[in-house]
A and B are shown apart, each in its own frame.
Chain A
Amino acid sequence: MNRKIPVVKEILGANDQVAAENRRAFEETGVLAVNLMASPGAGKTSLILATAGRLPDSIRPGVIEGDIASSIDADTIAAHGIPVVQINTGGACHLDAPMIRSALPHLDLRAIDILFIENVGNLICPADFALGSRLNVVLASVAEGHDKPYKYPGIFTVADVVLLNKADLMAVFEFDLDSFRRGVTMLRPQAPIFVLSCRSGEGVDSWVQWLIAQR
């Protein structure tokens, strides 16, 4: 006899459960965990360095680096004296909660106040996989064009804050800032938008102040 059984279960429920465990580990140790998502080359590592460099001494940064291969970014971070753990996903296009869980024993969470989790460069897959972070940061850049919220809506719908990097190139790329802002607000009206340049430093202070206020 055939019968239909209602299930109604989230497909990524197993990941969400581990994400909740990670979140508890961060809360218990007073860590503000930040999931940094962006396409390749948007400036994720530059943003981490620019942000960490502006934190007062009392706020200690740490980093989890996600990459398909290599430790190039982790080496850059470590050279600045910031505690860092590298995760190589071995081809996987996003970080997931179990990867973060296995990275945590390699970090002294009690010696970290803000933990930046640099996701794999990708505007699609990371949106679906919660890590246990308290903040989802989506970093776009002027060089990618102002149409990204319209073409990759999923990632913007999970953003707690949206950053637009490479603002110093705005004129070169004929970037339509109004269109970009409209696209973000359409999907996530509550997310503040910070326009900045890690290269020139413009706008970075406002973002850092906002971030510190989230603790």
Chain B
Amino acid sequence: MHELPITQGILSVVVEAAQQANARQVLAIDIVIGELTSIVDDSVQFYFDILSQGTVAEGAALHFHREPATASCQDCGHTFAVSPPLFVECPQCQSTLIRVTGGNEFCVQSIEVDNES
């Protein structure tokens, strides 16, 4: 269920951007998704193919870019990328005192459009 409102959000952002650019058609959409958000790419694509019918974005290819979460060790300061499940220890000093930041990104980065009309 979660992916349906998300996909509606993507489509409305894209259609608005395409109108502002006087685009005839949207060919591709670059989406940035953080590693800690629970979005399933295939599911978004599935909904997108249905929702975008009859819009300027019909048939556009969705490109998902996964943004990793960053872990930093509170003992030795080493930083490294992590993804869930987060049972992590520092690869350098094996400490389990870790702070995780980022990984919550969730935006439409850019669209590729055809301007010929």
Q: Is A44 an interface residue when CB atoms closer than 8 A count as contact? A: no
Q: Is B60 an interface residue when CB atoms closer than 8 A count as contact? A: no
Q: Contacts A150-B84, A186-B98 given: A12-B9 contact, CB under 8 Å?
A: yes
* Complex-state Cα separation, A182 to B37, whole angstroms: 20
Contact B112 A9 (CB under 8 A): no
B-contacting residues, A58-93, CB 8 Å: 91-93
Chain A residues lying within 8 Å of B37, measured Cβ to Cβ, are: 127-128, 154
* Complex-state Cα separation, A106 to B65, whole angstroms: 42
Q: Contacts A5-B21, A7-B17, A13-B9 given: A153-B107 contact, CB under 8 Å?
A: no
Count chain A residues whose beta carbon lies closer than 8 angstroms to a beta carbon of B.
38
Chain B residues lying within 8 Å of A6, measured Cβ to Cβ, are: 109-110
Contact B110 A96 (CB under 8 A): no
Contact A13 B13 (CB under 8 A): yes
Chain A residues lying within 8 Å of B13, measured Cβ to Cβ, are: 7, 9, 11, 13
B51–chain A nearest beta-carbon distance, Å: 13
Count chain B residues whose beta carbon lies closer than 8 angstroms to a beta carbon of A.
42
Interface of A is mostly: mixed
Chain B residues lying within 8 Å of A189, measured Cβ to Cβ, are: 99
* Complex-state Cα separation, A94 to B6, whole angstroms: 12
> Could you list 22 examples of A-B contacts with CB < 8 Å?
A1-B115, A2-B27, A2-B115, A3-B113, A4-B113, A6-B110, A7-B13, A8-B109, A11-B107, A12-B9, A128-B6, A128-B106, A147-B85, A150-B84, A150-B87, A151-B84, A153-B84, A154-B104, A157-B36, A183-B86, A186-B100, A189-B99
Chain B residues packing against A (C-beta within 8 Å): 1-2, 5-6, 9-10, 12-14, 17, 21, 23, 27, 31, 36-38, 69, 71, 84-88, 96-100, 103-104, 106-116
